[in-house]
Amino acid sequence: MSIEFNDKGKYFTDIVSKSAVQAVIQTVTHRIEGSIHVRINERIKGELDRDELFLAVTDAKIFASDGSVLYDAPFMTVARSQIVWVIPSEEAETKGDNQ
């Protein structure tokens, strides 16, 4: 890891700061709930549009079509090509509470 400082004391590093966002991810075959990590001051869409083949998810729960939990994993990657939609958990809960 390298850290460089400029004349005004601002530092530059090769570490990318991200914040965890709770989300519901629908793939072609399963629903996943967990945290995706988004760069500070960016949107989830920006994270999904990156060129990487996989999206990292932490504290993931993978659900079967009947709603039962198939797997519980501290870390997993999801092939971006298999993602159908993503909703931040706060929005999913808010919409569900209003119905």
Q: What is the number of other CB atoms lying within 10 angstroms of the CB of residue 4?
A: 9
Q: What is the mean pLDDT of the chain?
A: 86
- The residue type of 7 is D
Interatomic CA distance for residues 21 and 38, integer angstroms: 7
Is 69 in contact with 62 (CB distance < 8 Å)? yes
**Cβ pair 61, 33 in contact under 8 A:** yes
- What's the average model confidence in pLDDT over 64-71? 95
Ordered domains of the chain (ranges, CATH): 17-86 (2.30.30.100)
The answer on pLDDT for 1 being more than 80 is no
The confidence score (pLDDT) of residue 72 equals: 97
Cβ count near 34 (within 10 Å): 24
Average pLDDT of the residues in 34-60: 92
pLDDT of residue 45 exceeding 60, the answer is yes
What percentage of the chain carries pLDDT values higher than 90? 57
